[in-house]
Every structure is written in structure tokens, then in C-alpha cells.
Structure 1
Amino acid sequence: MSNQQGEKKIKLLEAMSIGIGGMVGGGIFAVLGLAVTLAEGGTPVAFLVAGIIALLTSYSYTKLSLAYPDKGGTVRFINEGFGKNIFSGGANNLLWICYVVMLSLYASAFGSYAPNLISITGDKGIDFHIAASFVIVFATLINYYSIKVVGQIESIAVVIKLIILVSFVGIGLYGLSGNVNLDQLNYSNWKTPFQVFSGGMVIFVAYEGFELIANAAPSIENPQKNIPRAYYYSVLFVIVLYILISIVTVGSLAFKEIAKAQDYVLAEAAKPMLGQVGFTVITVAALISTFSAINASLYGGSRVSYEISEDDELPHELTSQLWNQPVGLMITAVLTLVICNTIDLESISTSGSIGFLIVFALVNYVAFKRSKEVNGNKWIPMAGIFMTSIATIALIAEQFQTNKFGLAIALSIVLVSFLIEYFYKKSEAYRLNRMK
């Protein structure tokens, strides 16, 4: 097969590291405090519910990745299910903008953690906007310098952050016995079931990274066995990890302390166990994780824009090169700078969650529609459609009550994604008619 001529095959552990690295990027560092603020004692359940939706959707991704292995991943799946038209183009545009939103989330997390590390040395710390902007610019320069370096950084970062987070969980669970804050996990300290559910949806962005496995599917060794394992093992591992992290956090700090340190709560949660050393180690882990996530997602975002353009769903100029990289890389970086410096963390998280829930609902629909062709069970994708749809509605309802600005931003992003495609298709049709 031509695919095997000199192309390195990806083994199971490497495929799992793509999924785990995509999920445990900067998301957990960025949204953990937000999740606790919204769900309080029910935070572990909120992460479980969000994880179940991710797991259902991973079934659809598994079947579609086996049937249509393509570096375009989600873009290919949506085009297979809906054809190449205004709707599919709008959905793919939404995916690209969701990458930008995720990058903004990671940059916001970096900007929140970085001043704490500086202040440990006795300095006043640096401004949030300076730190967030710096990491975006620095990661963009690395992407232009060498894609190989991007991959090497991600490989090292995955190992470092997992060691630190697993250690945090192990030490944290050991230190929980007798902690007075452990009572916060009791049912009496949960928010309402609706608030717990919608809280899980606001932080759903912490799970979206498993879809990156789809882009690597053509290169995965022994795909019939390893593609399903890569999806399911990585999602299940992250569900357990997130639940344990949330248990340790809620059990270690009072709710008022969590609210005060919402943007860097994971580092604050290490203090009761390990003091300032723990705070510093988790801060370093957050900076490494968010930087590596930005590094990898910039490349991923530029590839999405390239694939959409190749499929004639955006102007072909996006397939052109700027300093040996797709021009979409620079556009992605500039948009990220604008969003992370103008929109608050909750609104960014809400926008990302709504966007990915919509995209995942569409992927589940494609798996349902093509269930015979992809040799899949139609009821699991149907459950995925139901859950992602209910989750989207619940999230919109919750944000309408608490964060109308964030909801307006999220819905505007969805609308703009489809409007861009509509006007592009109209302009192309007009141009072709003029040429006749």
C-alpha cells in the first residue's frame, strides 16, 4: 500500500497519547474552578456526565474513522454525511472557529497561572494579557520554525503533565482523610440536578480533544483493533482522571477559597497537601500543559482551515503558504489573540462547549445515517445525538439565566460560521456565472 511507503505507523500508546494529550491539554487547568463554582459538591458528577457524552460520541468517531480514514478527520466525516454544501461548510467553519476558541481558553489559563509563578520569586507578577499574548506569539513562532519541534514538545509535555496530575491525585486522595472540606462532596452541598448537568456542559471543552485521533487514523497500526482502543481507553482514562481531580479539589478547599482562586484553583488545591512546593509544581505543570496545547492546536487549527479550503468550502487562498506554513496558521493566531484579550473565561468556555456539542451532534448523526455502511450500531449514535442535543439546550438555558453576554458570543459564533459559508458560496456562484 502506498500509505506504508516510508510512513511511520502509529502504535496504540502513541494514538492514545494523541487523544489524552488533546483532552488533558489546558482544559482541566482552565475550567476546573469554573466547574466547581457552577456545580459545587456535584462537580465529580458534572465531569462524569460530560464524559459519558464524550464516550458516546467516541463510538461514532471510531466507526467513521475505520470507514473513512482521512487526515481531515471531522471535516471528512461531516462532508461524507451532508455532502459539500452550505450546511457542511458552515459546520466545518464552526469546527475551525472552535479551535480558535480552545486556543483562547488555553491562553487564558496560561495568563492566569503565569503571574503566580512570577510572584513566587517575590516580583509583582506580570499582567494577564501580556502573559496570554506572549504564549500565543511564541507558540506561533515555533510552528513557523518547525512542525517537528511542535511534535517533540507535545510528546514530552504529555508525559510531564500526566505524571504531575496522577501524582496530585494519588497524594491528594491519601491526604483527604479527616479533611473537614470532604463534607462538601455530600449530596446536600450539590447544586440542583439541572445546575450540575449544565455545569458539566459548560466545561465540556475539557473533553473535546479525543477527536484529534481521527486525524491520525490513516497512520494507526492495526486499525481494526487499535482505533477503537485508542478512542475508548483515552476517553475512559480521562473521565476517571477528571473525576478524581475534582474530588481532591472539592475535598481540599472550601468553596469560598475555590471561588477566590477560580482561574488557578488546581495549584491552590495542592497547597493543603504539599504547601508552596505543591502550588509551584502544579503551576509549572499548568504552564507546560497550556503551552503545549496551544502549540499543537495552532497546527491543528491551520490544518482544519487548509482542509476546508481544499474542499472548496472556504476561499482557495487558504491553501497558500505563508513562510512555509498554511496561511490559516497566521489567521488562527491573530483571531486567538483577539478573543483571549477581549472575552472572559466563562464566555470562552461556553462558546467552545456549544460549538463542539453541535459539531459532535452532527458527527453522531452521520454515524447514525451511515450505520450500515460503517458496520455500526445505530442506537449508540442515536443516544449521542440525543445527549449532545439535550446538553446544548441545557447549556443555552443555563447561560441565558447567568451569562447572557457569553451566550450571545457563542450563538454569534455559530451564526457567523454559517453566514461566512453562505456568502462564500453565493460569491463563487456569481463569479462562475460572470465567467460563462
Structure 2
Amino acid sequence: MPDEQLGLTESVSIALGGMIGGGIYAVLGVVTGIAGAATWAAFALAGVVAACAGYSYNALNDVDDENQGGSVSFVQSFVGNATLAGMVGWTLLFGYVGSMAMYAFAFGEFTVALGAVPDSLGSVPLRPVVSVGAVAGFVGLNLLGAQATGTAENVLVALKVGVLVTFGVAGVIYVGLGTDAASLSLGLSQLTTFDPIVAAAVSFVAFQGWQLLFYDQESIADPVETIRTAVYVAIPVAVGIYALVAVATVALAPQALRAHPHTALVQAAGAVAAPVGLRRAGAFAISASALFSTGSAINATLFSTGYFAKGMLSADLLPDRVGDSSASGIPTRTLVGLGAVTAVFAAVGSLGGITSFASVAFIVVFGAMSALALRERDRERIDPRPPAVGLAGTTAFLPLLFWHLYANERNTFYVVLVISVVVLGVELLYFEREAIRDEIEAVERDVLGDSSR
């Protein structure tokens, strides 16, 4: 294998790092607010739907003769509709921006929780300032060409996974030994309600990192088989870690989840380490891990999204003013533009709103890829059952997510709805601009013709 190509270990690390990099720190509080002790079930359900979508991506990648990979190229290869391909690409771009904003929001929350900065300076809250500063810093790093190697990614993911697994296992053991008033609960009574399903829809953004592997197949050895295995390993591992951390946190920090849901992990980690006199050390370890994980997630997602946008520029699916597709590396204007939109979302949005919008984007795209794989089910190498489950799951998630927002977070509902409609409208206006212009000209000719009679 050439030195510059990534193997299975590096591919699993990238896929797992894309999910765990910031997902658990950003969405845990939002999801537990919906599903409570049944949060583990919500993560499991979201993981099943994501795995079925992963099967759809792998199946399409297997039968795509060009093996270009990725949602946009799949639509181009199997549907041949440039407008639909462009709309899928734009939806993904907005989803990635929402993910980065989610990570930046969590980065700011944990920076404040760590005590690195105060909650506010005068009357100015500092969480948005820290979030925007983090985005700006990583835009700067990417402009300098900074990126992690495959070996470095292995180390980074091992550290992140190690901290979370250690916390989860220690937390469950700590509560199981009855050393505190806390008790383990799996929320079994809630499994008969819609709460875990709604929470699964909200958490869906935490399972989106694996598909970035499909955009850079030229750097992966034996890409079709390597990516297939990496996806099927990474998603179950992420589900297991999310569920373990959720069970431990719900048991150890129920009040913190209600009062400060975004940083409840800090209090839970402190409770685990308290019996050995290391409460502050435990809280610091989780906070530092959160900063490291969310920061690296911003950086990695920004890097991958920049190259994804460059590919869309090369295919004439983005306007030229977004960046120069012939530039070496990621075009400067593209990076700055992505960073600016991300910073705005992170500064003025709520974590629930950002998470919900990003989940909407990925539910739509993953559902579309499942539908595309189901459409191609007559091909010998495509089993229709996983795509059918993926399509059914995403089809159920989307209305349930909007229903939840309307019933419980009315302002967030309107924000997400307006953004979704605006994004769809902009996509249609851009990709159908020639048809719209022809229609306008035809109407003008008819009107002018009628007036001259």
C-alpha cells in the first residue's frame, strides 16, 4: 500500500472521529431533554437508520462504475439530473455548516464550564464570542494548510474514545455499586412512547461523519471494501459509546441535565472521580476532552466541507464567486464563506435549533440515498431490505422532528422551517434559473404582443 494511502484503521478512525468528534458533547443534553433515561434507545434507533443509510451508500458505491463516491456523484451517475444533484449538494453543505455551528456552540459552552473565561463580560455573554473565535481560528488554520495525517487521526480518536469509554464504564460501575443515591435507569416505560423516536430524529446529526469517507476515495487503499468495512465498524461503536455515556450521565447528573444540559457531562465526571479525591480532575478531563473533540471536529469538518465545495465548483454546481475551483487546495473565498455562515449560526442560534436544522439536512439526504439504492434494487449486489429500512426511518423522522419542535419549541420550529424553505427556494432559483428566465421572457413577449395589438 502506498505510504500516502489510508488503510482500514485510518478509515475507521476518520469515520468514528467524524461522529464522536463533537456529537456526544453537543447533542446529549438536547436528546436527554426529550427521551430522559431512554436516551440510549434513541441513539440505538438513530444508529440503525444511519447504518441502513450506510449500506445504501456502500451499495451505490459498489455498483457505480466510476467509484467517485458521495451523494452528489451518486445522483449524477444513477439519475443524471444536474438540478437534483446540485440540490443534494447544497443541502449537504448547509448540513455541514449546521454541524460545525453545533460543534462551535458546544466548544463555547465547555470553555465557559471549564472556567477558562467567565460567563459574561459586563452585559456581553462570552459563549457566542468564544464560539465565533473558535470558528475563526480553525478557518485560519485551514488557510495555512494545516491538516491531520492518518496516523495522527488514529491517536486523536483513541484519546477521545478512551476518555468517554472510561467515564461511561466507571460511571455505570460507580452507580451499580450503590455508592451514591444515584440509580441506573433504562427508561423502559418510555419505550412505548414516541419520545425515543423523536429524540432519535433530533440526534441524527451525531451519526453523519462516516459519509465523508466517500468524498476522498483516491487516498484510500481498496476504497470500496475499506470504506464498506469502516462504516459497518464505526457506526455500531459510536452507538455503543453514546448509549454508555447517556446511561451514566442520566444516573449521575439528572439535575444538571435539567439545569445545564449542555455541560452535564462535567458534573457527572466529577461525581465519578469524587470518591478518590479527584472530582476536579474528572471534571477537567471531560471538559478538556470536550474542547479537544469539538475543536478537532470543527477543523476536520471544515477541511472536508471545503474540498466538497471545491468539487461542486468544478462541476458547476456552485456559483463561481464562491471560489476558484482551479486554486491549489481549498479556495480562500470558499473557506472564509463557510466560516462566516458557521459563525453566524453559532453566535445567534440556539443549540436545539442548530442541532434540529442539521438533523433535517442529513435526514433528507440520507433518506434520498436510501431511496436511490432501493430504486436500483434490481442490481445483483443491492439487497433492498436495508435501503427500505433507511427510507422508512428517515421518512418517519422528518415529520416527527417538525412535530416535536412545533409542540415543544415553537420558536425553534419557525426558525428551522423558515431556514429549510429559504434553502429549498434558493436551490430551485439557482438551478432552475434558466428555465425561470425563459418563462419570464415568454410572459414578457406575450404581454408586449398583446399590448401592441
Give the TM-score taking structure 1 as reference length.
0.90
Determine if the alignment matches structure 1 residue 13 to structure 2 residue 32: no
Query: Quick check: 1:291 aligned with 2:291?
Result: no
The aligned counterpart of 2:123 is none
Asked if residue 33 in structure 1 is aligned to residue 29 in structure 2, the reply is: yes
Find the residue that maps to 2:194 and give its secondary structure. Answer: helix
- 152-161 or 9-18, which deviates more: 152-161
Report the counterpart of residue 217 of structure 1 in structure 2.
217
Equivalent residue, structure 2, for 1:407:
413
1:394 to 387, 400, 404: 400
| Residue number in structure 2 paired with 1:143 | 142
- Kept after mapping to 2: 8 A contact 1:113/1:286: yes
Alpha-carbon distance in structure 2 between the residues aligned to 1:135 and 1:16: 26
Distance 1:131 1:153 in 2: 26
Q: Separation in 2 of the partners of 1:219 and 1:324? A: 15
Deviations 1:303-355 (A, max 9, x none): 22222222222213434068963232111100001111111000111101111
Residue 100 (structure 1) shift: 0.5
CA distance in 1, matches of 2:77, 2:35: 38
Q: Moved runs in structure 1, 4+ residues, more than 6 A? A: 150-153, 430-434
Matched residue of 2:182: which SS?
helix
Matches within 5 A, 1:66-145: 66-68=62-64, 73-118=70-115, 124=118, 127-145=126-144
Q: Which amino acid aligns with 2:35?
A: A
1:373-392: CA deviation from partner (whole Å, max 9, x where unpaired): 47211222112111110111
Distance in 2, matches of 1:407 and 1:151, equals 40
Residue 182 of structure 1 is matched in structure 2 by 183
Q: Following the alignment from structure 2 to structure 1, what is the Cα–Cα distance between the partners of residues 424 and 98? A: 17
Matching of residue 418 in structure 1 with residue 451 in structure 2: no
CA apart distance, 1:150: 7.8
Q: Does 1:314 align with 2:318?
A: yes
Q: Is the 8 A contact 1:47 1:239 kept in 2?
A: yes
CA gap 1:303/1:224 in 2 versus in 1, 3 angstroms: closer
Quote the offset at 1:67 in angstroms. 3.0
The one-letter amino acid paired with 2:147 is: K
* Contact 1:72 1:304 survives alignment (8 Å): no
SS at match of 2:147: helix
Q: Is the 8 A contact 2:253 2:265 kept in 1?
A: no
Q: Give the whole-Å Cα distance in 2 for the aligned partners of 1:416 and 1:152.
A: 41
Give, in angstroms, the shift of residue 70 of structure 1.
5.0
Runs of 5+ consecutive residues of structure 2 not aligned to the other structure = 121-125, 274-278, 442-453
Of 340-349 and 153-162, more deviation after overlay is shown by 153-162
DSSP-derived class of the 1:38 partner: helix
Q: Does 1:337 align with 2:331?
A: no
Distance (whole Å) between structure 2 residues aligned to residue 125 and residue 356 of structure 1: 32
- SS of structure 2 residue aligned to 1:8: coil
TM-score if structure 2 supplies the norm length?
0.87
The alpha-carbon distance between structure 1 residues 109 and 58, as it changes in their structure 2 partners (threshold 3 A), is same
Q: How many residues align?
A: 425
Identity value in percent? 26
Structure 2 CA distance, aligned partners of 1:95 and 1:280? 34
State which drifts further: 147-156 or 406-415. 147-156
Deviation at 1:366, TM superposition (A): 1.3
Paired residue for 1:325, among 304, 323, 330?
330
Give 1:238's aligned residue.
238
Alignment RMSD (CA, Å) = 2.6
Q: How far does residue 54 in structure 1 lie from its aligned partner after superposition?
A: 0.8
Shift of 1:403: 1.5
Give the one of 346, 353, 356 matched to 2:362. 356
Q: Deviations over 1:2-51 (max 9, x none)?
A: xx9x6732211111111101100111101111111111111111111111
Change (3 A) 1:139 1:371: same
Q: Which blocks of at least 5 consecutive residues in structure 1 are unaligned?
A: none
Amino acid at match of 1:289: S
Q: Judge conservation of contact 2:377–2:384 (CA < 8 Å) in 1.
A: yes
Query: Counterpart of 1:60?
Result: 56
Q: Counterpart amino acid of 1:83?
A: G
Q: Aligned partners of 1:20, 1:243: CA distance in 2, in Å?
A: 15
In 2, the alpha carbon distance for the partners of 1:150 and 1:104 equals 24
- The structure with the larger Rg is 2
Contact 1:367–1:378, Cα closer than 8 Å, also in 2: yes
Query: How far did 1:419 drift?
Result: 2.1
